[in-house]
């Protein structure tokens, strides 16, 4: 009977990895006793958006063999990773959120991605690497709060702050952005590295890094020191933002850098007037070009987030917009998180570990 059930479960396919759940090793501890069938389903991440789909399919397949079976599916997860570093080795996936231009909503997307992952049960942290314009203190409502630093074996250890289930660290907690303005690139890089590596992150499924606009020193510091799962590119529909997003894509795709681009998010994609919810306006020129970029560079569109004054109001109050589940923007942000989770799972199943970039100086 067990064999028969296992055979039936082989017809449940993971649509992302395009293999069946038995071959993928997701089904374990199958037990059949007097009409009771129990098994463990091991997902590739606690944030798996296909959880319900797998469960329903499994029950259906088992009932096709034992119609009145009492089925018990114990769901757990083991987040996939390709990282194996000694530095920050307890972090399974590091994802950097980047954009070409500033002001496109990169920090908004990064904060909502981190909080969305945490809300789905993944161990998540957010690192704000934008020294000149740190966003975490405001967007998480943690202004004027400093993380604790303790001395352990003559080493300083920083305890990250925590809110909405997410661990949070920001260069803005320690460094006055006005003073940092006169810092040179290497100083910023070493401050970033120190905060990254001295923070007691614990075990993490995902660390989301919010980066400054463009592709500068911090981005190089990141890819030279940490093996990234990939980057998420954020843009708005305007040509000027998209052109800069393409530059960022080209940088990460450059053979000397070669960091996977998980996908692109179009923020401020369209506007739905609150008094006319059936209308949808593309208020920025260039709408449609994100589809062209997606095709041209073979990059998935992870989300198209509407422009809504409430997204901004909430951010100013320290509350990530994804928590507003019954809004259009809340739903779109959640889709963006689901698509990113799936893109990470596919990336981890199909590509090797990202190599640390070695820049040769002449
Ligand atoms: N979809 C949106 N709708 C309305 N306002 C937004 C949206 N996305 C971002 N904003 C607002 O736009 C401003 C810039 O966003 P931010 O995330 O700081 O951009 P970046 O990090 O790219 O500089 C912030 O005030 C933010 O609240
Ligand atoms: Mg920002």
pLDDT in tens, 15-38: 999 999 999 999 999 999 988 999
Q: Is the pLDDT of residue 362 over 60?
A: no
Determine the average pLDDT of the residues in 189-202: 95
pLDDT in tens, 278-329: 999 988 876 678 999 999 999 999 999 999 999 999 999 999 999 999 999 9
Residue 47 or residue 183, greater confidence: 47
List helix spans (H) across the chain.
2-9, 51-65, 106-119, 136-139, 177-180, 185-198, 217-225, 239-253, 289-297, 309-316, 328-350
CB of residue 274 inside a 6 A radius of ligand 1: no
- pLDDT at position 69 is 93
The closest residue, in CA terms, to atom 24 on ligand 1 is 312
pLDDT in tens, 213-249: 999 999 999 999 999 999 999 999 999 999 999 999 9
What is the spatial distance between Cα 355 and Cα 248, in angstroms, rounded to a whole number?
A: 18
CB of residue 308 inside a 6 A radius of ligand 1: yes
CATH of domain 2-77: 3.30.300.130
Q: Taking the CB of residue 291, how many other CB atoms lie within 10 A of it?
A: 12
- Give the number of the ligand closest to the Cα of residue 138: 1
CB of residue 307 inside a 6 A radius of ligand 1: yes
Q: Is the pLDDT of residue 81 over 80?
A: yes
CB of residue 268 inside a 6 A radius of ligand 1: yes
Check: CB of residue 160 under 8 Å from CB of residue 199.
Answer: yes
CB of residue 105 inside a 6 A radius of ligand 1: yes
- pLDDT at position 137 is 95
- pLDDT at position 14 is 97
Q: Which of 315, 327, 334 to mutate to test the pocket of ligand 1 (most atoms within 8 A of CB)?
A: 315
- Give the number of the ligand closest to the Cα of residue 267: 1
The closest residue, in CA terms, to atom 16 on ligand 1 is 105
Q: Which of 96, 98, 102, 105 to mutate to test the pocket of ligand 1 (most atoms within 8 A of CB)?
A: 105
CB of residue 112 inside a 6 A radius of ligand 1: no
- Give the number of the ligand closest to the Cα of residue 315: 1
Q: Is 111 helix (H, G, I), strand (E, B) or coil?
A: helix
The CA 177 to ligand 1 mean position distance, Å, reads: 19
- pLDDT at position 86 is 84
Q: Is 263 exposed, middle or buried (0-12, 13-18, 19+ CB in 10 A)?
A: buried
pLDDT in tens, 281-291: 988 876 678 99
Q: Is the pLDDT of residue 95 over 80?
A: yes
- pLDDT at position 251 is 96
Determine the average pLDDT of the residues in 126-131: 96
Among candidates 262, 265, 263, which has minimal Cα distance to 354?
Answer: 262
CATH of 91-350, picked from 3.10.129.10, 3.30.450.20, 3.40.50.300, 3.40.50.10680, is 3.40.50.300
State phi, psi for 93 to the nearest 5 degrees.
-140, 125
Q: Where are the domains of the chain?
A: 2-77, 91-350
The CA 260 to ligand 1 mean position distance, Å, reads: 25
The closest residue, in CA terms, to atom 17 on ligand 1 is 105
pTM: 0.96
State phi, psi for 139 to the nearest 5 degrees.
-70, -20
Determine the average pLDDT of the residues in 330-356: 97
Parallel, antiparallel or unpaired: strands 149-152 and 155-158 = antiparallel
Q: Which of 130, 139, 170, 312 to mutate to test the pocket of ligand 1 (most atoms within 8 A of CB)?
A: 312
| Mean per-residue pLDDT over the chain, rounded | 94
The CA 267 to ligand 2 mean position distance, Å, reads: 13
């Amino acid at each position: 009977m067990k064999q028969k059930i296992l055979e039936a479960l082989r017809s449940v396919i993971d649509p992302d990895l395009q293999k069946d759940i038995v071959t993928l090793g997701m089904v374990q501890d199958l037990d059949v006793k007097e009409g009771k069938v129990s098994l463990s389903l091991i997902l590739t991440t606690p944030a798996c958006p296909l959880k319900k789909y797998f469960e329903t399919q499994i029950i259906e397949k088992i009932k096709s063999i034992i119609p009145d079976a009492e089925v018990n599916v114990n769901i757990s997860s083991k987040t996939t990773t390709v990282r194996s570093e000694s530095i920050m080795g307890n972090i399974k996936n590091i994802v950097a959120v980047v954009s070409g231009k500033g002001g496109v909503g990169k920090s908004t997307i990064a904060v909502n991605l981190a909080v969305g992952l945490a809300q789905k049960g993944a161990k998540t942290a957010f690192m704000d690497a934008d020294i000149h314009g740190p966003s975490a203190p405001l967007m998480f409502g943690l202004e004027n709060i400093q993380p604790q630093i303790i001395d352990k074996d003559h080493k300083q250890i920083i305890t990250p702050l925590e809110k909405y289930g997410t661990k949070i660290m920001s260069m803005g907690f320690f460094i006055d952005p006005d003073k940092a303005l006169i810092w040179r690139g290497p100083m910023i890089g070493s401050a970033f590295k120190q905060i990254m590596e001295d923070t007691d992150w614990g075990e993490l499924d995902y660390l989301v890094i919010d980066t400054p606009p463009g592709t500068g020193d911090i981005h190089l510091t990141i890819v030279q020191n940490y093996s990234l799962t990939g980057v998420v590119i954020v843009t708005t529909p305007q040509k000027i933002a998209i052109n800069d997003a393409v530059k960022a894509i080209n940088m990460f795709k450059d053979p000397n850098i070669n960091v996977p681009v998980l996908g692109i998010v179009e923020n401020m994609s369209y506007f739905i007037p609150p008094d006319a919810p059936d209308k949808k306006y593309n208020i920025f020129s260039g709408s449609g070009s994100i589809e062209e970029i997606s095709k041209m560079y073979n990059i998935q569109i992870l989300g198209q987030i509407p422009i809504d004054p409430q997204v901004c109001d909430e951010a100013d109050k320290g509350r990530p917009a994804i928590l507003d589940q019954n809004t259009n923007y809340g739903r779109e942000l959640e889709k963006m998180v689901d698509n990113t989770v799936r893109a990470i799972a596919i990336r981890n199943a199909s590509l090797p570990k990202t190599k640390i970039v070695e820049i040769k100086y002449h």
